[in-house]
Amino acid sequence: MSRILVVDDDGHIRDVMRFTLQQGGFQVVEAKDGAEALAQFDAGGIDLVVLDIVMPESDGLEVCRKIRAKSRLPIIFVSSRDEELDRVLGLELGADDYLVKPFSPRELLARVKAVLRRLSPEPAAADKGAICRRGALEMDLHRHRCTWVGQEVVLTVTEFALLQSLLLSPGRVFSRSELVDRAYGHGHVITERTVDSHIRRIRQKLSALSADPIETVYGLGYRLKESL
């Protein structure tokens, strides 16, 4: 049973999220501010964080930065701010998804399940041993580990899912909507800029290893280079 950390300074919202997630079969622990959230994270045993952005003292963005400095633990931001800039900033910091208040309990549960699903390899991949390679790029789907020439590339759950989709079909051009379906599941309303933010972060991490395997096909989407 997955254990979800719910972080929000509003007790009523925490109650709603706790009830919803428990009904969905999850264990839930709570934190009312950034300090408590980091203490729960440091205690271990957390599988995913649902993190409010606007909180007193240490806000959700700062909590995300501190978690990302140590871990690729899945993070879903929740916020009353629906500006695209806020969404992109959250994703640039390494969040896997962004949910705008007010949201329905059903949507929260669907988002949590979708992110956790990305941690499990597809059955077809598992049958092949879950090791995918193209040139210097290798992805171990069971261990959720990506390497370039043997050096690890630390990816979030969503980044991993997007790169995996490109790696499994090198040379094929994926539209942004196709990548959304593969990384988030069908029915997700995600802006093209959100996908671009994730791809940009993947490229930055690979670039640090002098790697540039992803091509932009203008007007269409992205593909993995056939020759790496």
What is the CATH number for 150? Answer: 1.10.10.10
Domain C-terminal end among 75, 99, 117: 117
Least confident piece of the model among 21-25, 116-120, 133-137, 165-169: 116-120
Domain that holds residue 65: 3-117
Interval 72-114: pLDDT, tens: 899 999 988 766 666 777 777 888 888 888 889 999 999 899 8
Q: How far is CA 88 from the centre of its chain?
A: 13
Residues 33 and 130 reside in one and the same domain: no
Same domain, 107 and 140: no
Average pLDDT on 3-17 reads: 95
Our count of domains for the chain comes to: 2
Domain boundary among the residues 73, 101, 117 is at: 117
Among 17-31, 70-84, 119-133, the minimum mean pLDDT is found in: 119-133
Whether the pLDDT of residue 128 is over 70: the answer is no
Same domain? For 141 and 91 the reply is no
Which pLDDT score, from 0 to 100, does residue 119 have?
Answer: 74
Q: What sign results for the dihedral spanned by CA atoms 126, 27, 18, 24? A: positive
Q: Does the bond joining 102 to the residue before it have cis omega, within 30 degrees of 0?
A: yes
